[in-house]
Structure 1
Amino acid sequence: MAAATLGLVGLDIQAASASELAKDLFGGKKLPAAIAPASYGFYSKGCFSGGVAIATDGPTWQAMRLSRNRRWGHPKMIALIEKLSREAAADGWPGLLVGDISQPRGGPMLTGHASHQIGLDADIWLTPMPDRRLSPTERENMSAVSMVNEKTHRVIEKRWTPAHTRLLERAASYPEVERILVNPGIKKKLCDTVTGDRSWLRKVRPFWGHDYHFHVRIGCQPGSQGCKEQDATPRGDGCDKSLAWWFTEEPWRPATGPAKPRARDIMTMSSLPKACRAVLDAPSPTSEAAVTYHGPGGSDYAATPAPQAPSVADTPVIADPGTPAAANAFAPRPSVDIPLPRPRPANK
Structure 2
Amino acid sequence: MKVKTGSSRLIKPFYEETPPQTRSCIPLSVFDLVTYDQHVAIIYVYRPPIPSNMTVELGLRKALYVYREWAGRLHVDNEGNHVILLNDEGVRFVEASIDRALDHIMPIIPSTSLLCLHPSLEGVVELVQVQVTRFSCGSMAVGFTAHHFVADGHATSNFLVAWGLACRGLKIDPLPFHDREIFYPQNPPSFEFDHRGVEYISKTFKQIYPLIDHGIEDIVSYKVRFTSDFLSALKAKASSMRENAKPYSTFESIVAHVWRAITKARGMHASETTHVRISVDGRERLNPRVPKGYFGNLVLWAFAKSKVSNLLNEPLPYAAKLLHDAVASNSSVGDPDPPPGEAAEEHKKKPGYDQYENNNYS
The structure with the largest strand share of the pair is: 2
TM-score relative to the length of structure 2: 0.22
TM-score relative to the length of structure 1: 0.23
